[in-house]
Every structure is written in C-alpha cells, then in structure tokens.
Amino acid sequence: MAVITDAELARLAETSRLKLSASEAEAFRRDLNELLDYFSRINEVESRGEELYYVKEMTAAPRKDEPAESREAAALRSKFTREKDGFMMAPKSL
C-alpha cells in the first residue's frame, strides 16, 4: 500500500507550498499513511465507469457578445495589498 516516506512528504510539502516543522512532518506522515491505508478500500470498487468530475453536465448557452461594465472591479482591486494607477503591486519576488 501507499507508504509515504520522509522524502516523499518533503516533496509533497514543497509542491503544496507548505513549510512544516520536523514534528509536524512526522505527525502528517503518520496521519497520511493511516488515512491512505483506510481509503485504499477504493480499490475494492470495480473501475469500469467513466471519470466523473461533475455530477451535472454543464449545458449553459454562451451569453450574448455584448460589452458590459466589468463587475465589482474597483471593489476587487481594493482587496490587494497596494494599488497604483490601476496596477496592483505585489511584494518583490525575484
């Protein structure tokens, strides 16, 4: 069955963008192995079906191609850290 090693957990944490302390990592590794072990019951189900992402088929027709005011743009912009002349400023990252 799925055995998540320390190395695999470290890779998962990095992919997930989560820093973990050594004790957290140990606890999560234990939890994840225990949970995946339980959920491996999924293998008992016949897998002849289609992959079902949504239980409802989306059949909406496209709306009319007419220009409209963008919704709540100013309110949304106000949520960002800093804004200047219509530009959003994020912390330096490179």
Partner 1 sequence: MLSITLGKLKLLESGSLTAEENAARLLEKILREDMSLGAFIETFGSDALEEARAVDAARRNGAVGRMAGLGVSIKNSVAVAGRRLTCGSRMLEDYRAPFEATAVSRLRAAGGVLLGSTNIDEFCSGSDCSRSAICKTVNPVDHSRVPGGSSGGAAAATAAGLCDVALAEDTGGSIRCPASFCGVAGFKPTYGAVSRYGVVDMAMSFDQLGPIAPDVFGCALMLSAIAGEDAKDVTTAGAPAVDFTRGLDSLPKGIRVALPKQFFVGCDAGVEKLVRKAVAKLEAHGAVVEEVDFPIVSYALPIYYLLVFSEFASAMQKFDGLKYGFKANVDSNDLIDAVSEARRQAFGTEAKRRILLGTFITTKEHREAWYSKTLKARSLLKAEFARLFKEFDVVAGPTMPMVAWQCGEKSQDPLQMYLADVLTVPANCAGLPAGSVPCGSVGGLPVGVQLMAAWGSDALALKAMAAVES
Binding of residue 88 to partner 1 (CB under 8 A): yes
Binds partner 1 (CB under 8 A): choice among 7, 22, 23, 59: 59
Print the binding letters for residues 8-27 with partner 1: x by CB under 8 A, - otherwise. xx--xxxxxxxxx---x---
Binding of residue 64 to partner 1 (CB under 8 A): no
Pull the structure tokens for residue 4: 């998540």
User: Cβ distance 29 to 4 under 8 Å?
Assistant: yes
Render 3-46 in DSSP notation, one character per residue. ---HHHHHHHHHHTT----HHHHHHHHHHHHHHHHHHGGGGGS-
Binding of residue 83 to partner 1 (CB under 8 A): no
Beta bridge partners of 19: none
Pull the structure tokens for residue 76: 């949304």
By CB under 8 A, name the binding residues for partner 1: 2, 4, 8-9, 12-20, 24, 28, 31-32, 34-36, 38-39, 41-56, 58-60, 63, 71-72, 75-76, 78-81, 88, 90-94
